[in-house]
Structure 1
Amino acid sequence: MDIYGYIKKDHRRFEDLMEQVEKARTTAKRLDIFRTLKAELIIHAKAEEQSLYAAMEKATRSKAVEKKLDHTTEEHDEIEGFLKQISSASPSSDQWMIHFGELKHACAHHFEEEEGTLFEKAKSYFDAAQARQLARDMDALKREMMADA
C-alpha cells in the first residue's frame, strides 16, 4: 500500500468512528468511542507530519507547496483544539455535541483538501516505491507512538 491509500484508510476509519459517536445510545459509549478517535487522530497527525509532510518539504522548492503544508499543519492544530474543547465539555451537554460537530466539519474539510490537492502534488514528487516506503514509515511512526502512549 502506498502513502495515499494508507492515509485514506485512516481517514475512512475516522469518519466511521465519528459516525459511531453520533449514533451512540449512551454517554458512556459516546465517550469511549470519542477517546479512541481522539488518540488515533492525534497520532495520525503527528506521524503524517513526520513522514509525508517532512518528505514533501524536503522535495519541494515551491513556496506555494510550503504554504500548503503550513496550512495542513495548521488544520491539524485546529483539529487538536476541537479535541481539547470536546474533552473539557460535559459529555452529556449540548456544547459537547456542538464542538463535536465542529470537529467533524474540520476533519471533513481537511481530508478533502489533503486527498485532493496535497496528494496530487505529492504524486509529482514521489514514485511508486517512494510512496510505498512513506506508508511504511508512517505506519512505523504510528506504532511507535501508540506503544509510547
Structure 2
Amino acid sequence: MAKKKATDILSLIEADHRTAEKIFAEAEGAKGAKKMQECFDQLYKELNLHAYAEELVFYPAMQDHEETQEYIEEAEEEHNSVKILLEEMKSLEIGGSEFKTRMMHLKESIMHHVEEEESEIFEAVRGCMGEEELMELGQEFQAAKGRMEAEVEESLAKR
C-alpha cells in the first residue's frame, strides 16, 4: 500500500473543500434518487470526517496562537450547525422538497465556511505557524480522519 505523501494541514483542508464542492456540483446535477443518495452519503462522510479532524487537530493548534484564537468559536458553531443539518437530512426522503431545501442550506453553509477559512483563517495561521508545525498538523489531521472513518460510516448506516 502506498504511503500518503506528507502534506501540510492547510493543503489537506483545501483538498477537502474542493472535494465537497465537487460533490455538491454532482448532487445538483443528479438525476434520480439513487445518485442523490450517493452524493448525500459522500457529503455526510466527508463533512463529518473533516469537521472531526479540524476540531481535534486544527482548532486546538489555533488556540495556541493569540492571532488565531478569535476564529475558533464561530468555526465550531458552523461545524455544529452542519452536523445537525446532516443528521436531520439522513431521515428525510431523498429528493423530496424538504431534502432539497436543506441541501441548498447545507451548501450555502459550507461555502460560507470555506470562504472564511481560506480567505481569513488560513492567512492568520500562516502568519503564526511555521512549515514544520503545519506539516505535523497535516499528519495528525489525516490520522484523525482515518480513526473516525468506521464510526462515521456506522452512523450513516443508521437511518
- Give the structure-2-normalised TM-score: 0.86
5+ residue gaps, structure 2, are 1-6, 153-159
1:78 pairs with 63, 81, 86, which one?
A: 81
Counterpart in the other structure of 1:116: 119
Amino acid at match of 1:47: A
Count how many residue pairs are aligned between Structure 1 and Structure 2.
146
Counterpart in the other structure of 1:88: 91
Q: CA deviation digits over 1:112-139, x for unaligned, max 9?
A: 0011111111112210111111111100
Amino acid at match of 2:98: Q
1:126 pairs with 106, 126, 129, which one?
A: 129
Counterpart in the other structure of 1:40: 46
5+ residue gaps, structure 1, are none
Amino acid at match of 1:140: A
Q: Write the distance in 2 (CA, Å) between the matches of 1:108 and 1:31.
A: 21
Counterpart in the other structure of 1:135: 138
* Range that drifts further, 102-111 or 130-139: 130-139
Q: Write the distance in 2 (CA, Å) between the matches of 1:137 and 1:129.
A: 13
RMSD value, Cα: 1.4
| Percent of aligned positions that are identical | 29
Q: CA deviation digits over 1:42-74, x for unaligned, max 9?
A: 1110101111111110232x6xx4342000000
Shift of 1:19: 1.0
Counterpart in the other structure of 1:19: 25
Q: Write the distance in 2 (CA, Å) between the matches of 1:147 and 1:86.
A: 20
Shift of 1:38: 0.4
- Give the structure-1-normalised TM-score: 0.91
Distance 1:124 1:145, change over 3 A: same
> Would the aligned equivalents of 2:36 and 2:95 in 1 still touch at CA under 8 Å?
no
Q: Write the distance in 2 (CA, Å) between the matches of 1:35 and 1:107.
A: 16
Q: Write the distance in 2 (CA, Å) between the matches of 1:10 and 1:92.
A: 25
- Higher helix content, 1 or 2: 1
> Would the aligned equivalents of 1:56 and 1:125 in 2 still touch at CA under 8 Å?
no
Counterpart in the other structure of 2:3: none
Shift of 1:88: 2.5
